[in-house]
Amino acid sequence: MLTVPKIKNFSKDEKLIALTAYDRPSAISADKAGVDIVLVGDSLSNVILGNENTTSIGMKEMTYHVTAVSKFINSSLIVADLPFGSVQSGLQVASGHACELIRCGANAIKIEGGEEVLELVEHLTKHGVPVMGHVGLTPQKVEQIGGHLVQGKTAKDSKRIYKEARSLESSGVFSIVLECVPMQLAKKITSDTNVPTVGIGSGPCCNGQILVFHDLIGWHQGKFKFLKKPFGDVSREINNAISSFSESVKKGSYPSADESWSISEDLIEDLEQ
What residues act catalytically?
A: 179
Residue among 62, 210, 216, 217 that touches ligand KIV (CB under 6 A):
210
Residue among 177, 178, 180, 217 that touches ligand KIV (CB under 6 A):
177
- Amino acid, res. 72: F
Q: Please name which of 68, 106, 61, 107 lies closest in space to residue 86, comparing C-alpha atoms.
A: 61
Scanning 39-47, 145-153, 185-193, 256-264 for contacts with ligand KIV by CB under 6 A, the matching segment is: 39-47
Least Cβ distance, residue 39 to ligand KIV (angstroms): 6
Give exposure, 168-185, as e/b (b: 16+ Cβ within 10 Å): bbebbbbbbbbbbbbeeb
Of residues 41 and 196, the one with the C-beta less far from ligand KIV = 41
Residue 46 within binding range of ligand KIV, rule CB under 6 A: no
- Do 182 and 136 contact (CB within 8 A), yes or no? no
In the bound state, the residue with its beta carbon closest to ligand KIV is: 41
> If DSSP states are collapsed to H, E and C, what string results for 50-88?
CCCCHHHCCHHHHHHHHHHHHCCCCCCEEEEECCCCCHH
- Alpha-carbon distance of 247 to 264, in angstroms, equals 30
102 contacts: CB under 8 Å, gap ≥ 6: 109, 129
Of residues 123 and 134, the one with the C-beta less far from ligand KIV = 134
Least Cβ distance, residue 75 to ligand KIV (angstroms): 20
Least Cβ distance, residue 79 to ligand KIV (angstroms): 9
Residue among 165, 212, 216, 217 that touches ligand KIV (CB under 6 A):
212
Residue 35 within binding range of ligand KIV, rule CB under 6 A: no
Residue 81 within binding range of ligand KIV, rule CB under 6 A: yes
Of residues 41 and 172, the one with the C-beta less far from ligand KIV = 41
Residue among 7, 19, 26, 42 that touches ligand KIV (CB under 6 A):
42
Residue 200 within binding range of ligand KIV, rule CB under 6 A: yes
Within 10 angstroms of residue 140's Cβ, the number of other Cβ atoms is 23
- Do 125 and 111 contact (CB within 8 A), yes or no? no
Residue 41 within binding range of ligand KIV, rule CB under 6 A: yes
Scanning 36-44, 97-105, 141-149, 155-163 for contacts with ligand KIV by CB under 6 A, the matching segment is: 36-44
- Alpha-carbon distance of 263 to 241, in angstroms, equals 31
Residue 20 within binding range of ligand KIV, rule CB under 6 A: yes
Alpha helices in the chain (DSSP H): 4-8, 24-32, 44-47, 59-70, 91-103, 118-126, 142-145, 155-171, 183-192, 213-217, 234-251, 265-270
Contacting positions for ligand KIV (CB under 6 A)? 20, 39, 41-43, 81, 177, 179, 200, 210, 212
